[in-house]
Structure 1
Amino acid sequence: MQALRNYIDQQTRSTISDADFALIIAELLPYRLQKKQYLLQAGEVCRYQAFVVQGALRLYTVDARGNKQIHVLGVEDMWIGDRESWSQLTPSRYYIDAVEDSQLLLINCPQAQELVRRVPLVAELVRIQDERNAIATQRRLHDAISCSAEERYAAFIAQHPTYVQRFSQLMIASYLGISPETLSRIRTKLPHVAATADS
């Protein structure tokens, strides 16, 4: 639980009180996922948002040919879930599974809304996260439209230097929207980037 407390303090640049943190803890469900175990499968309603205490997960769709398109790579101090399904109680189009054995803290939508109402720092945290997610989505859309595969990979490594040790090249290629063969060529073409990633 200390990881969550540190996360709240860091994100809000405040110090949450013991009383407010106790209210938060009371609403969270500790949960463990083994590697390759699902948190969510397409067609299910996403009942929980998950805070990653330890481990790594991915959120993805599967097309008609069985190809996986990864939309989110989640590690410690990140939230992962299908926000639309979670808030609207509609069937999800996504899968979420564990890339590593993972420890999570789960919260459902009514519990989250109650915390937003009762704990000012939670309301502030939600506002900050919504803003950052909107910015990240805008940047990713820009990169997908305007940047070359090489530029997208270099930016990915700069932003997430440890991900190459935790996610396979196949997963990273899917996340970047490029083929594994293209990623392999990029790593050969940009050895300084590959060296940074592998160090």
Structure 2
Amino acid sequence: MSTQEILNRVGQFSSHDLLLFEEHSVRRLFRKNDVLLHLGEICQSVYFILSGSFFQFQSNDITETIIDLHLPKEWMYNHPSLIEQKVSDTTIKAFEQSEVLELSLTNLHSLIVKSQSFLSLGRIFDQPNNRTYLFDRSLSPVEKYNYIKNAKPLIVKVFPVKMIASYLKIAPETLSRVRANH
């Protein structure tokens, strides 16, 4: 995916803007299970997933609770940690070998100073809307599964039932029954 394709998803950018973005962003590779953000760190960057997938989770001594599942062609970050600059209560880990473009907050601010076009990158910070729709409504397991299949159809192809069920806050057995009836 080219820089122009990535940026055209959030706004209009000149060829000079595209070069600036390339100068200020960094390509990073992650192996399966590499940690992008550790619990207790402050999120300092946003990441555009070029390939692969990631999962964001909270853990206690016994279980991992999936907070988000991230796929290619998405922006990814820990929203509360990045926006409020507080320590993360989640971990972001590569589910498989992955490649991302990283843009630090410092570099994002630098880009905005150099070109007002980069203010449109603010659109990437609206991501909590999917989670709000899923969890602030009284959706049935079938409705949750249908919503996620429409919003992020690759999730059901990439991640195992147990992870998807945790993300949707339903039992894996319930999700298996819902999927069997589709």
> Is 2:177 the counterpart of 1:185?
yes
- Asked whether the equivalents of residues 43 and 91 of structure 1 are also in contact (C-alpha less than 8 Å), the reply is yes
Shift of 1:98: 0.7
- Asked whether the equivalents of residues 169 and 180 of structure 1 are also in contact (C-alpha less than 8 Å), the reply is yes
Q: TM-score w.r.t. structure 2 length? A: 0.89
- In the alignment, the residues of structure 1 paired with residue 120 and residue 44 of structure 2 have an alpha-carbon distance, to the nearest angstrom, of 23
> Is 2:89 the counterpart of 1:93?
yes
> Is 2:114 the counterpart of 1:118?
yes
Task: Tell me what 2:10 maps to.
Answer: 11
- Asked whether the equivalents of residues 31 and 105 of structure 1 are also in contact (C-alpha less than 8 Å), the reply is yes
Shift of 1:85: 2.5
The alignment partner of 2:118 has SS state of helix
Number of residue pairs the alignment of both structures matches: 182
Task: Tell me what 2:157 maps to.
Answer: 165
- Asked whether the equivalents of residues 60 and 96 of structure 1 are also in contact (C-alpha less than 8 Å), the reply is yes
- In the alignment, the residues of structure 2 paired with residue 108 and residue 122 of structure 1 have an alpha-carbon distance, to the nearest angstrom, of 13
* Structure with the largest fraction of helix: 1
Task: Tell me what 2:130 maps to.
Answer: 136
> Is 2:20 the counterpart of 1:27?
no
Structure 1 residues 183 and 39: alpha-carbon distance in aligned structure 2, compared to 1, 3 A threshold: same
> Is 2:146 the counterpart of 1:154?
yes
Letter in 1 for 2:100: L
Shift of 1:112: 1.1
Q: Deviations over 1:6-43 (max 9, x none)?
A: 0211332x3x2221111111111111001111111112
Shift of 1:123: 0.6
Task: Tell me what 1:54 maps to.
Answer: 51
Q: Deviations over 1:65-106 (max 9, x none)?
A: 432121221112211122333354432111011112101111
Q: Deviations over 1:149-172 (max 9, x none)?
A: 121112211222222111111111
Letter in 2 for 1:74: H
State percent identity of aligned pairs.
Answer: 25
Q: Deviations over 1:121-161 (max 9, x none)?
A: 221131x333x425324312334xx1111211122112222
Structure 1 residues 172 and 134: alpha-carbon distance in aligned structure 2, compared to 1, 3 A threshold: closer
- In the alignment, the residues of structure 1 paired with residue 14 and residue 128 of structure 2 have an alpha-carbon distance, to the nearest angstrom, of 28
> Which of the residues 80, 86, 109 maps onto 2:76?
80
- Asked whether the equivalents of residues 86 and 108 of structure 1 are also in contact (C-alpha less than 8 Å), the reply is no
The alignment partner of 2:9 has SS state of helix
Q: TM-score w.r.t. structure 1 length? A: 0.82
Q: Which has the higher contact order (CA 8 A, sep 6+)?
A: 2
Q: Which runs of 5+ in 2 are unaligned?
A: none
Q: Which runs of 5+ in 1 are unaligned?
A: 193-199
